[in-house]
Amino acid sequence: MTHGRIGLLSDLSEEALYSAREVPKRSMNIRAYSMLALMLLVSSAIAGQTQKVDLGNITCKQFTALPKDTIWTVTVWLDGYYTDDEDPTVVEVDVLKTKAEQLVSFCTENPKASLLAAAQDVLGK
């Protein structure tokens, strides 16, 4: 009987360890994107270009008129916003550059569209 209990306890502890490892992995993805966006915002602030961008009210035309580094920062934030918790916790800069180009291209062709609608089309899963 003692052997059975030890086996049960070791099974439970393995399951608990697995669950404990999975929680940080999911939230790490969002943290990675948030940290990248924060670093970009801080670098903009240091350069004296602090801006507030209300993503709920910005049009594609206004988005494409922003400075290039602000477009990049907003795209990184939006990509993190549309990333699922289950997605890998890896930031692929080349993929982000491609997504930023696609978003700018979409917005150039649809200047009256809301940025969030455009981002949903381009970045949404």
pLDDT in tens, 21-46: 555 555 556 666 666 665 555 555 44
Global confidence as pTM: 0.59
pLDDT in tens, 103-125: 999 999 999 999 999 999 998 86
The domain ranges of the chain are: 27-123
Beta strands, E only, the chain: none
Q: What is the CATH number of domain 27-123?
A: 1.10.890.10
Q: How far is CA 90 from CA 30, 82, 101, 107, in A?
A: 10, 14, 20, 26
